[in-house]
Amino acid sequence: MAADLSVKFTGLEFENPFLLASAPPTESESNILRAFDAGWGGVVTKTIGLHPVINVKGPKTKFNRTSVDSPRISSRRRPDSVLHSSWNWELISDKALDWWLPRIERIKKAHPSKMLIASIMAGSESETELEHWRTLAKACQEKGADGLELNFSCPHMDRDDMGSNVGKNQALCRQVTTVVKEVAKVPVWVKLTPSTTEIIYEARGAFEGGADAITSSNTFPSLMTIDPDSLEFEMQVDGYTSQGGLGGPAILPQSLAKMSQLCQAFPDRAFSGIGGISDFTHALNYFMLGCGTVQVCTAAMLDHAVGPNVVKALKEGMGQFLEKHADKGWKTLEDFRGCRRDRIVPQSRIKRPESKEYHGGHEAEGYAEPDPE
Ligand X SMILES: Cc1cc2nc3c(=O)[nH]c(=O)nc-3n(C[C@H](O)[C@H](O)[C@H](O)COP(=O)(O)O)c2cc1C
Which residues are catalytically annotated? 154
Positive or negative torsion for Cα 237, 22, 308, 141 = negative
Assess contact for 290 and 267: CB atoms under 8 A. Answer: yes
Radius of gyration of the CA atoms of the chain, in A: 21
Q: Does 86 bind ligand X (CB under 6 A)?
A: yes
For ligand X, which residue of 5, 12, 19, 23 counts as binding (CB under 6 A)? 23
Give CA separation, 173 vs 127, 153, 169, 360, in Å. Answer: 15, 11, 6, 42
Q: Does 303 bind ligand X (CB under 6 A)?
A: no
**DSSP annotation string for 100-130:** HHHHHHHHHHH-TTSEEEEEE----SSHHHH
Least distance between ligand X and beta carbon 304 (Å)? 15
Rounded Cα gap, residues 243 and 104, in angstroms: 32
307-336: contacts with ligand X (CB under 6 A)? none
24-53: contacts with ligand X (CB under 6 A)? 24, 46-47
For ligand X, which residue of 17, 49, 276, 292 counts as binding (CB under 6 A)? 276
Q: Residue 206's closest CA among 221, 189, 220, 194?
A: 189
For ligand X, which residue of 17, 248, 292, 307 counts as binding (CB under 6 A)? 248
Name the pairing type of β-strands 244-247 and 220-222: antiparallel
When CB distances to ligand X are compared, the closest residue is: 247
Q: What is the DSSP letter of 240?
A: B
Nearer to ligand X, 22 or 177 (CB): 22
For ligand X, which residue of 88, 124, 175, 272 counts as binding (CB under 6 A)? 88
For ligand X, which residue of 167, 244, 275, 338 counts as binding (CB under 6 A)? 275
Q: Residue 290's closest CA among 245, 239, 326, 256?
A: 256
Least distance between ligand X and beta carbon 135 (Å)? 18
Q: What is the DSSP letter of 48?
A: B
Nearer to ligand X, 187 or 276 (CB): 276
Q: Residue 104's closest CA among 65, 82, 129, 136?
A: 136
Rounded Cα gap, residues 316 and 226, in angstroms: 40
Nearer to ligand X, 277 or 322 (CB): 277
Name the pairing type of β-strands 213-216 and 220-222: unpaired
How many residues at the interface with ligand X, by CB under 6 A?
A: 30
Q: Does 251 bind ligand X (CB under 6 A)?
A: yes
96-125: contacts with ligand X (CB under 6 A)? 119
Rounded Cα gap, residues 74 and 66, in angstroms: 7
3-state secondary structure 332-355: CHHHCCCCCHHHCCCHHHCCCCCH
188-247: contacts with ligand X (CB under 6 A)? 191, 218-219, 247
Show contacts of 74-83: CB within 8 Å, 24+ apart: 74/225, 74/227, 74/234, 75/224, 75/234, 75/235, 76/227, 76/234, 83/248, 83/249, 83/298, 83/302
For ligand X, which residue of 33, 35, 92, 188 counts as binding (CB under 6 A)? 92
Nearer to ligand X, 318 or 322 (CB): 318
What does the per-residue mask of binding to ligand X show for 146-165, with x meaning CB under 6 A?
-----x-xx-----------
Nearer to ligand X, 47 or 195 (CB): 47
Q: Does 296 bind ligand X (CB under 6 A)?
A: yes
Least distance between ligand X and beta carbon 121 (Å)? 8
**DSSP annotation string for 267-308:** TTSEEEEESS--SHHHHHHHHHHT-SEEEESHHHHTTTTT-H
Stretch that binds ligand X, among 4-12, 126-134, 291-299, 353-361 (CB under 6 A): 291-299
Least distance between ligand X and beta carbon 33 (Å)? 19
Least distance between ligand X and beta carbon 228 (Å)? 25
Stretch that binds ligand X, among 2-10, 16-24, 195-203, 306-314 (CB under 6 A): 16-24
For ligand X, which residue of 61, 164, 177, 260 counts as binding (CB under 6 A)? 61
Point out which residues bind ligand X (CB under 6 A).
21-24, 46-47, 60-61, 86, 88, 90, 92, 119, 151, 153-154, 191, 218-219, 247-248, 251, 274-277, 296-299
